[in-house]
């Protein structure tokens, strides 16, 4: 008796591999979230050099909540957000290192502080200071 087996060509079915891989890509794309990696940089003062700057010669911006928006008081004058830079530019032209203090009220929304900070950055203000409540208490009532 002759035993002859016809050998089939052995192969791994790879035609669906691409489908599987693309499915994985789509799955990861859909489930992944975009993380925000851009923002405003800000440097806190060093501990040892604190309280060197006198508050009198700095521009003082006070931010308060008023309804859904905010009101900005710059050196005692109520101002619109867009006018802050107009007010600051002549001062910066005289002294590019002019200090600007942002002083938001505790109840003011955070976004208003960011708006002012953004505005100052656009106006190329180099020295922006955001004192914390404890710092302000340490300075006394100069504000």
Binding site for another protein (CB under 8 A): 14-15, 17-18, 20-22, 24-25, 28-29, 32-33, 35-47, 63, 104-115, 117-118, 121-122, 130, 132-135
Sheet holding 59-66, edge to edge: 77-79, 69-74, 59-66, 99-104, 127-129
CB of 81 to another protein, least distance (A): 12
**Cβ proximity to another protein, 111 vs 126, nearer residue:** 111
**Cβ proximity to another protein, 55 vs 113, nearer residue:** 113
CB of 92 to another protein, least distance (A): 16
Q: Work out the widest C-alpha separation in the chain, in whole angstroms.
A: 113
Whether 141 contacts 58, CB under 8 Å: no
CB of 3 to another protein, least distance (A): 35
Beta carbons within 10 angstroms of residue 39's beta carbon: 7
**Cβ neighbours of residue 7 closer than 8 Å, sequence gap 6 or more:** none
**Cβ proximity to another protein, 48 vs 56, nearer residue:** 48
- Token pair belonging to 110: 């955070």
d(CA 41, CA 23): 39
**Cβ proximity to another protein, 80 vs 134, nearer residue:** 134
CB of 40 to another protein, least distance (A): 5
3-state SS, residue 141: coil
């Amino acid at each position: 008796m002759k035993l002859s087996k016809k050998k089939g060509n052995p192969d791994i079915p790879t035609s669906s591999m691409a489908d599987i891989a693309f499915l994985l890509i789509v799955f990861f794309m859909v489930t992944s979230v975009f993380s925000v990696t851009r923002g405003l940089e800000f440097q806190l003062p060093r501990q040892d050099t604190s309280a060197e700057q006198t508050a009198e010669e700095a521009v003082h911006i006070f931010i308060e909540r008023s309804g859904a928006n905010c009101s900005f008081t710059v050196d005692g004058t109520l101002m619109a957000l867009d006018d802050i830079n107009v007010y600051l530019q002549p001062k910066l032209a005289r002294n590019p290192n002019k200090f600007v203090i942002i002083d938001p009220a505790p109840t003011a929304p955070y976004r208003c502080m960011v708006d002012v900070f953004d505005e100052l950055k656009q106006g190329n203000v180099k020295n922006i200071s955001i004192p914390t409540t404890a710092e302000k208490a340490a300075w006394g009532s100069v504000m």
